[in-house]
Amino acid sequence: MDAPVRARRIAEALASPPPTPEQERIIEADPLAPLVVVAGAGSGKTETMAMRVLWLVANRHVTPDEVLGLTFTRKAAAELGHRLQLRLRRLDVAGLLPRATQDDVAAALAAPTVQTYHSYAARLVGEQGLRLGIEPDTELLSEAAAWQLASQVVQSYDGPMDAVELAPSTVTKAVIALSGELAEHLLPIAEMDTYLGDFESHLRTLAKSGRMTKIPGGLDGHSAKLRQLLPVVTAYQRAKHERVAMDYGDQVAIAAQVAMRFPQLGRAERSRYRAVLLDEFQDTSEAQMRLLESLWVTADEPVVVTAVGDPHQSIYGWRGASARTLDDFPRRFAGPGPQAPVPADQAQLSISWRNDRSILAVANRIAKPLAAQGDLDVAQLSAGPAADDGEVLIGRYSTLDAEAAQIAEWLKQRRLNLPDPSTFSAAVLCRKRSLFVPVAAALEVAGVPYELVGVGGLLTMAEVGDVVSLLWTVHDPSRGDRLMRLLSGSALRLGAADLDALGVWSRHLVPRGSGSGDLAPDTAERASIVETLEHLPAPDWVGPSGESLSAEGLARLDRLAHVVRRLRRLNNLPLGDLAVEAIHSLGLDVEVAARPEYDTGSGAAALDAFLDVAARYAGSAGRATLGSFLEWLEAAETEEDGLDAPVVQAAPGVVQVLTIHAAKGLEWDDVAVAGLGEGVFPAHSGWATWNPEWAGWALGKDAVPHDPGTWVTADSGWTSGVRIPFDLRGDVTGLPALNWAQVDTYKDLKEQLEEFRAAYGAHELAAERRLAYVAVTRAKHALFLTSSVWGTAKRPRLPSRFLLEARDLIEQGDVPGGRIVHWEPLPPEEAENPLLEQPRQASWPPPQVDSPSIESLRAAAGQVEQLREQLEHDQLSWRAWSSTLSPQLRDDLTALLAERDRAGSNGSTSVELPSHLSASQIVALARDPQEFARALRRPMPVRPQPAARQGTAFHAWIEKHYQSAALVDVDQLPGVDDDDADHFADLAQLKETFLASEWADRQPLEIEVPVETWIGTASIRGRIDAVFPAVAGSSVPDGGPTGVVIVDWKTGSQPHGQEAATRALQLAAYRLAYARLRGVAPSQVAAAFYYAATGTTVYPDLPPDDAIEQLLAEAVSS
């Protein structure tokens, strides 16, 4: 028998650092026993799990294809899968793989299975769903498609809703949330309805107490609201069934039900996989817990499951995750024993390889109360050997604007201190999106480039808000609030007198017709201000009090009315195209490109991201409508936790502003955490109260100032909002109970309700503490924790208990790089909010250029005009004239003159290459660098191309042909990138030719795949038309039968010569991006153009993987 291969020997073979004792214990743990690993933030869990797999394979415990790894994101799955494949090959080269594996070709080619939890559930449902009547081709609804379908159900529902006083969009959100929660806890709707019925019956039996005449907390009305929502949820479930569709919650629930009801499924999975790794286990839901438990736990077989997670990072309770999943793992995944099941063993990863010492000191202090709340031992994090002291700064300021200004100044200085600003890595993390606005404004003033991450953050950008307001104006004539944004904002810049006159004219308009048939004056129909655009007054109109519209104001209104009418005529366009038209109509694309503080690509980043959101919604929402899209955006704008767009890698040197939930799994060198005040972070509904006994502010009637341990918060839990009662949840043991069945009077119920709310307030406070821990541990080297005294309320805001804990730690000298830069004290009792005392001031109408540099631009323009006149009169020489200029202006003009001279000599144009490029822009750059540069320098609106519409129709027909999960109408699909499309091509002929091609009978793996990857200094974005599995014996030149083929549909003619080689760069970019997205080698990805006009498939000779990087480098150097 061969000697065992130790973890250290594997590390030596891979030229990796030797494992720590903690890592070594996990890597070499018993392969036939369950294990739970508590892995702190930045503790190298991915590396440790990869080494665990290598050790299992090297020691013959498993073959590579007998390993199953599950995680939550595709990015994490691709990273782990790629790492395992690469290192298994290197172990093979080092001779550490067993001979049997080396000699067995199939085993040598096999790789571990690494999937997301949802994709694993999808496979089980696809293979076994028929046992429950679920068809294998059941459509999986995306988030957008689920919203679209639920919105249709809500709009058409005609049942009783008198107890539901919510807007239709809010009801839609409630239906989706309730449906998802029911699925996550495997709870039938009828069971919840019965529970609520019993609850209401008991409430009616309670005796009144004293003057209490109403049921405390409005519990009867809340229960009635929930019961009236349940039939709407039933209708939503029925609509999915009729459409043969399901959402992600249904998918996991169905997989769990199949696993629980049919034990043979578990036996098949256990025979297939002999080692299971469960990543981020603290984020699993009850349905996922039951699914995995049913598959892998039996009374007489080893439990070969290793769960990895951090209970301190369980922050997704709002989507079904429970902080108790890790605590429950040792018991629920216990292995077989001689007399009783043996609980799973526990191991730790407590060395942080990410954070410096000062940051870890604050993180450990914040997490300290959490360690006593769970059943598992969670060790404090310690710094790695390469860690430095780092820096933790604390600042508490008078107002939110002052706080944001200090954050911006700190980031500005950190950026300036770097030799290369493009290496700047920083983020501002916010608990609530309302903080995005002042933070973004401060960064703008400071000249620090930034991006707001997520749909909710995106909507706070001024240019995106203008586009959305215009689309609302087009869609809904009653949304005068959206029109007013356009009228008073930078889009139209109407003055006060014109707005007043327009309001007067609007009130004078009455419904046209032969009189009103309304009997009640309050129901009489009146024209809204949006409808006023269709009936503008004559130029000589004068109101009853002398109001009138200026000639310029009337002209601007007339132009806007023309835009609205035109967009309404184009309402049948795909959402993305309609959004593009709205952007062009307002001239926003040119406006943002002209911002002096951004390059061309960065300036338009927000609009590009919004167009991506519109395209994703249209491509995944079924029969997407403008109305449902706008309602979805409103939900995203108000939702603090959900509906975020995927986080993408930031452009170099750009500060990311995002919520803490969106920051999970990410890291930056420098991080600012804003808004650390009670009520904001931690989030709760409590208010500061003055305690006369202690002469200070505190939280709660009997709370002590300066002692957060006495501050009390409360939360209503399921007794308000739309949630299932805690008694019905699978994780009920970890939640406070409302013992309503044990009370007999209103008074008893009130006391019980107060106890429940206090207990749940403490429960939610622990969730906020976990969120604070996540926020702090995102910083590698520098952390800035900030707060402000005054917000928008009359009372001051107490400093967050988390901020106070960090401050105390610094004052005690326990933070090596800690410093309190400013601490604004709380005011006395009689103090009033200075922000409310003074009227808010703003420049109105706003400047035409929404930029802090507008005044400096105007000053420079005035100086240039003054000097131009001086030159004309005095005939000064350049040397004499330039001596009168400021050094900065003299240098700028010298550079401009030099550029003019260069352009005159060789006709070249010099611009800075944008940090974000599309695949088609790569082709344009390679085709003609000078024309590409001129287009960047002077961007012009693109004339609509009829040929592109032909490409759209063909793409739409192909998707219908493949019956993809994103089926929509022809005018509601992407596919307008065929810049060479043949306008005269016959669509019927294109279809006929396609049906005779090799692709007609093949089933794609994916359709319309959005990709983005960094190549050199630029982020390359694109959308792949289709991805097919490679077929042995086909015309695929490389990739082989185990690879894939990327196909780009073209309706134009086939190019030749240099143009064909240039266009091949598009496929090269797609191949590299897709390989990175799916964690496979680029050699396993073939790429082809299919020319529909001739039915020809062309596999061009693709340039090397570094060709695009060389092209970009040459463009930068030139």
Structure tokens at 227: 């019961």
Of the listed ranges 79-93, 360-374, 1006-1020, 1031-1045, the least confidently predicted one is: 1031-1045
What CA–CA distance (Å, rounded) separates 895 from 934?
Answer: 18
The model's confidence at residue 526, banded by pLDDT at 50, 70 and 90, is low
Q: What's the pLDDT score for residue 974?
A: 37
- Whole-number pLDDT of residue 949: 56
Whether 786 and 359 have beta carbons less than 8 Å apart is answered as no
- What confidence category does residue 353 fall into, taking pLDDT thresholds of 50, 70 and 90? very high
Give the model's pLDDT for residue 726: 94
Report whether 378 contacts 349 (CB < 8 A): no
Dist. CA 322–CA 282, nearest whole Å = 7
What's the rounded Cα separation, in Å, for the pair 416 and 423? 11
State pLDDT tens for residues 690-710.
888 788 888 887 888 888 888
pLDDT-derived band at 652, boundaries 50, 70, 90 = confident
Q: Cα-flanking dihedrals φ and ψ of residue 660, to 5°?
A: -70, -35
Stretch among 455-459, 1009-1013, 1071-1075 having the lowest mean pLDDT: 455-459
d(CA 1010, CA 1025): 9
% the chain with pLDDT above 90: 39
Q: How far is CA 193 from CA 188, 199, 234, 1048, in A?
A: 9, 10, 11, 51
Residue 651: predicted pLDDT: 64
Whole-number pLDDT of residue 346: 95
Question: Residue 983's pLDDT is what?
Answer: 41
Average pLDDT estimate for 498-524: 64
pLDDT above 90 (res 761)? yes
The Cα 368–Cα 1011 span in angstroms is: 41
Asked whether residue 107 carries a pLDDT value surpassing 60, the answer given is no
317 closest CA partner among 708, 752, 664: 664
Torsion sign, CA atoms 953, 959, 963, 965: negative
- On the question of pLDDT at 774 being above 70, the answer is yes
Average pLDDT on 300-313 reads 93
Q: 7-62+69-114+275-288+301-349 domain in CATH 3.40.50.300?
A: yes
Asked if the model's pLDDT at residue 1013 lies above 90, the reply is no
Contact 740, 749 (CB under 8 A): yes
* Better pLDDT: 277 or 496: 277
- What residues form DSSP beta bridges with 655? 450
In which band, very low, low, confident or very high, does the pLDDT at 820 lie, cut at 50, 70 and 90? very high
Mean pLDDT lowest for which of 580-589, 877-886, 1051-1060? 877-886
Can you tell me the distance from the alpha carbon of 438 to that of 20, in angstroms, rounded to the nearest whole number? 45
- State residue 495's pLDDT score: 85
How far, rounded to the nearest angstrom, does the alpha carbon of residue 471 sit from its chain's CA centroid? 23
Say what the pLDDT of residue 455 is: 67
Statement: residue 945 has pLDDT above 60: no
With a cut of 60, say whether residue 122 has pLDDT above it. yes
Contact 151, 693 (CB under 8 A): no
Tell me which CATH homologous superfamily contains domain 389-451+657-833.
P-loop containing nucleotide triphosphate hydrolases (3.40.50.300)
Cis previous bond, 421, omega within 30:
no
- pLDDT-derived band at 78, boundaries 50, 70, 90: confident
The answer to whether residue 904 scores a pLDDT higher than 80 is no
pTM, 2 dp: 0.74
Tell me, what amino acid is at 898?
A
Structure confidence at residue 491 (pLDDT): 76
Q: What is the mean pLDDT of residues 1046-1056?
A: 87
Give the residue ranges of DSSP H helices in 273-320.
286-296
Q: What is Dmax (Cα atoms) for the chain?
A: 106
In this prediction, residue 364 has a pLDDT band, given cuts at 50, 70 and 90, of: very high
CATH of region 917-1117: 3.90.320
Residue type for position 820: I
Question: In a 10 Å sphere around its CB, with 0-12 CB exposed, 13-18 middle and 19+ buried, how is residue 775 labelled?
Answer: buried
Q: How confident is the model at residue 310 (pLDDT cuts 50, 70, 90)?
A: very high
In the chain, what are the domain boundaries? Answer: 7-62+69-114+275-288+301-349, 142-243, 389-451+657-833, 458-513+524-638, 854-907, 917-1117
Residue 362 vs residues 359, 660, 798, 816, 824: alpha-carbon distances, Å: 5, 17, 20, 11, 21
Quote the pLDDT of residue 988.
77
What whole-number distance in Å separates Cα of residue 119 and Cα of residue 774?
A: 26
Pairing of strands 67-71, 113-116: parallel
Q: Report pLDDT for 302.
A: 93
**Mean pLDDT lowest among 314-323, 774-783, 1047-1056:** 314-323
Residue 398: enclosing H or E segment and its boundaries? strand 391-399
Cis omega before residue 736 (within 30°)? no
Predicted confidence band of residue 606 (pLDDT cuts 50, 70, 90): confident
Query: Per DSSP, what are the bridge partners of residue 383?
Result: 352
pLDDT in tens, 398-414: 999 999 999 999 999 99
Q: What is the mean pLDDT of residues 13-31?
A: 93
941 or 542: which leads in pLDDT: 542
Residue 521 — very low, low, confident or very high, per pLDDT cuts 50/70/90?
very low
Query: What's the rounded mean pLDDT across residues 888-909?
Result: 66
* pLDDT tens, position by position, 200-213: 999 999 998 888 88
Euclidean distance between CA atoms 974 and 977, whole angstroms: 8
Give the pLDDT of residue 508: 80
390 against 248, higher pLDDT: 390
pLDDT at 1105: 77
pLDDT at 108: 47
The overall average pLDDT reported for the chain is 83
**Residue 699 CA neighbour count, 13 Å, CB half:** 25
Phi, psi (rounded to 5 degrees) for 260: -75, -35
Residues 566-569: contacts with CB within 8 Å, 24+ apart? 567/470, 567/471, 567/474, 568/474
* C-alpha to C-alpha distance for 18 and 222, rounded to whole angstroms: 59
pLDDT band at 972 (very low <50, low <70, confident <90, very high): very low
Question: CB-based burial of residue 443 (10 Å sphere; 0-12 exposed, 13-18 middle, 19+ buried)?
Answer: buried
pLDDT tens digits, residue range 496-509? 898 999 888 888 87
- On whether the CB atoms of residues 370 and 312 are closer than 8 A, the answer is yes
Residue 517 has pLDDT above 60, yes or no: no
The pLDDT assigned to 105 comes to 46
Mean pLDDT is lowest, of 217-231, 335-349, 864-878, for 864-878
Lowest mean pLDDT among 144-153, 339-348, 917-926: 917-926
Number of neighbours of residue 418 by Cβ within 10 angstroms: 13
What does the pLDDT average to over 660-678?
93
Cβ atoms of 636 and 163 within 8 Å: the answer is: no
- For residues 373 and 675, the model is more confident at 675
Residue 23: pLDDT over 90? yes
Going by pLDDT thresholds of 50, 70 and 90, the confidence category of residue 384 is: very high
- Can you give the pLDDT at residue 339? 85
Who contacts 353 (Cβ-Cβ below 8 Å, separation ≥6)? 42, 43, 44, 384, 386
The answer to whether residue 270 scores a pLDDT higher than 80 is yes
DSSP helix/strand/coil, 568:
helix
Q: What's the pLDDT at 75?
A: 76
Say which residue, 1118 or 1001, is predicted with more confidence.
1001
pLDDT value of position 1111: 78
SS3 437: helix
pLDDT band for 981, please (50, 70, 90 cuts): very low
CA distance 731 to 320: 10
Q: What is the CA angle 282-284-287, rounded to 5?
A: 150
- By mean pLDDT, which of 21-35, 180-194, 200-214, 1009-1023 is the weakest? 1009-1023
* Average pLDDT over every residue of 936-958: 62
Least reliable range by pLDDT among 8-12, 107-111, 528-532: 107-111
Structure tokens at 531: 């409808």
- The whole-angstrom separation of Cα 772 and Cα 382 is 18
| Token pair of 1102 as six digits | 């693709």
Helices (H), 30-166: 45-58, 74-93, 99-103, 105-109, 117-128, 143-156
Q: Is the per-residue pLDDT at 646 higher than 80?
A: no
Of 736, 665, 745, which is closest to residue 283 (Cα–Cα)? 665
Tokens encoding 674: 């804003």
Q: Output the pLDDT for position 872.
A: 67
> Distances from the Cα of 827 to the Cαs of 139, 189, 685, 789, in angstroms?
59, 52, 21, 9
User: Residue 378 and residue 819: Cα distance in Å, rounded?
Assistant: 28
**Does 7-62+69-114+275-288+301-349 match 389-451+657-833 in CATH topology?**
yes
Q: How far is the C-alpha of 1026 from the C-alpha of 1090, rounded, in Å? A: 11
CATH number, domain 458-513+524-638 = 1.10.486.10
What is the phi/psi pair of residue 182, to 5°? -60, -40
Q: Is the pLDDT reported for residue 468 higher than 60?
A: yes
- Write down the pLDDT at residue 850: 46
User: 3-state DSSP helix/strand/coil percent for the chain, to nearest 5?
Assistant: 50, 15, 35
Name the helix (H) or strand (E) containing 655: strand 655-659
Dihedral-angle region of residue 671 (phi above 0 means left; psi in -120 to 50 means alpha; beta otherwise) = beta
Residue 475 has pLDDT above 80, yes or no: yes
The tokens describing 746, both together, are 């209103």
